[in-house]
Amino acid sequence: MKVMIVGSGGREHTLGWTLARSFEGRDFYFVPGNGGTITIGHNIEYINNYDDMTKFAKEKGIDLTVVGPEKPLVSGIVDKFREEGLRIFGPTREAAQLEGSKVFAKELMRDARVPTANFEVFDDFNGAKNYIEKIKCPFVIKADGLAGGKGVFVCMNVGEGVRALELVMLEKKFGSSGDKVVIEDCLTGQEVSVLALVSGDRVLPFLPSQDHKRIFDEDRGPNTGGMGAYSPVPFMRKGELVAVKEKIFLPTVKELLRRGIEYNGVLYAGLMITSRGPMVLEFNVRFGDPESQAIFPLLEDDFLELLFKTLDGELPDKINWSGKSAVAVVVASNGYPDHYETGF
């Protein structure tokens, strides 16, 4: 059994480690991989486009490709592999808009009546600036497109909001991802991540986890891609987990199907557990990082088998977990997420 994993982070190391755990006889290729993945399989650092990836997959007889990061999914790697008759785990480009466009995701949630913050969409700086001068503080500004987990600004006053709009829309800190912004109410409560395997209209959630977005203790400093995580989440009640499946995941995938979009892969709901129940902050279309590093050590089932069952529309009724707890710790270069050194 040959498996190719696309990506270079801690998530990809975790995916490989989990896939390799069940039994020997699996050969792993990481594109490009990192210093940890080389202990599991082969790092392929010379491939840098989808044509070369599909060619490599055919030459090596890869049985399954698993995509770690969001950017390849949003840009259509799954569509490319499928066209070439190759098996790949992840949503198509069209389905990946749930992460690739905050505007698409928020409008879909509104149509599906998924609980989320009230919002408005703007494509011009002055219109957005005029709006935040009239609304209640705090509020949240989000770049529409991909921003590496750093395109969300929780603004405590109008001045912070104007500065965020300048960074996103005028200075183009995130390039074309800032052509549009979503401005939404700031939800309060505990933030929780729930990942789920999705196959058409069937959903199978993982254990919940909680990651920590801000760089410093006590939720100070700017947002990051994630500064660590733990799982499971002790304060999340069973009824809330049922509500996440019934009121968030299922309406979302059914609304996608109504629009002619079939979702197949993993869907990640970033939630705020509010006094009104779980509400969606954002959707991601891939395994969370660092969440996956805290969730997968607790998995008792054969992960590769779960992935194939997702692709084949044969999701089981439940996933078996160890009953233990796990913590992922992140070490970051000084200055992250703004200006920081790498490579040392």
Render pLDDT for 169-189 as a digit per residue (tens, 0 to 9): 999 999 999 999 999 999 999
What's the pTM value of the predicted model, to 2 decimals?
Answer: 0.93
Assess contact for 13 and 28: CB atoms under 8 A: no
Q: Which of 319, 341, 284 is nearest to 99 (CA)?
A: 284
User: What does the DSSP assignment read for 145-188?
Assistant: S--TT--EEEESSHHHHHHHHIIIIIS-TTGGGGSSEEEEE---
Report the alpha-carbon distance of residue 219 to residue 119 in Å, rounded: 24
Q: For residues 243 and 263, what is the distance between their CA atoms, to the nearest angstrom?
A: 20
What is the domain partition of the chain in residue ranges?
2-89, 118-185, 188-329
Q: Are 253 and 315 in contact (CB under 8 A)?
A: no
Reduced to 3 states, what is the DSSP secondary structure of residue 266? Answer: strand
Say how far apart CA 224 and CA 283 lie, in whole Å. 16
* Predicted pLDDT of residue 219: 82
Amino acid 47 reads I
Q: Is 229 helix (H, G, I), strand (E, B) or coil?
A: strand
Check residue 326 and give its pLDDT. 98
Query: What CATH class has 2-89?
Result: alpha beta
Q: Is the pLDDT of residue 314 over 70?
A: yes
Q: What percent of the chain has pLDDT over 90?
A: 89
Please state which architecture CATH assigns to domain 118-185: 2-Layer Sandwich (3.30)
Nearest Cα residue to 309 out of 297, 318, 296: 318
Rounded to the nearest 10°, the torsion over CA 307, 309, 310, 313 is 160
Q: Is the dihedral of CA 226, 43, 5, 294 positive or negative?
A: negative
Mean per-residue pLDDT of the chain:
95
Q: Dig out the tokens for 332 from the structure.
A: 């970051």
- Measured distance CA(186)–CA(184) in Å, rounded: 6
Q: What is the pLDDT of residue 129?
A: 97
Position 26 pLDDT exceeds 90: no
Q: State the CB neighbour count (10 A cutoff) for residue 341.
A: 9
Domain 188-329 has CATH 3.30.470.20: yes
Length reported for the chain? 344
- In which residue are the tokens 């480690």 written? 17
Instruction: Using the predicted structure, report yes or no on whether residue 247 has a pLDDT greater than 80.
Output: yes
pLDDT tier at 168 (50, 70, 90 boundaries)?
A: very high
Bridging pattern class, strands 64-67 and 88-89: parallel
Is the per-residue pLDDT at 197 higher than 70? yes
Residue-wise pLDDT for 29-51, tens only, equals 999 999 999 999 999 999 989 99
Tell me the sheet residues that pair with 152.
142
9: which 2 tokens?
């982070």
Quote the CA–CA distance of 287 and 251 in Å, as a whole number: 20
Residue where the block lists tokens 């703004």: 338
Q: Among residues 41, 42, 43, 40, which one has the least CA distance to residue 32? A: 43
d(CA 211, CA 193): 7
Distance CA 65, CA 87 (A): 6
Residue scoring higher pLDDT (22 or 113): 113
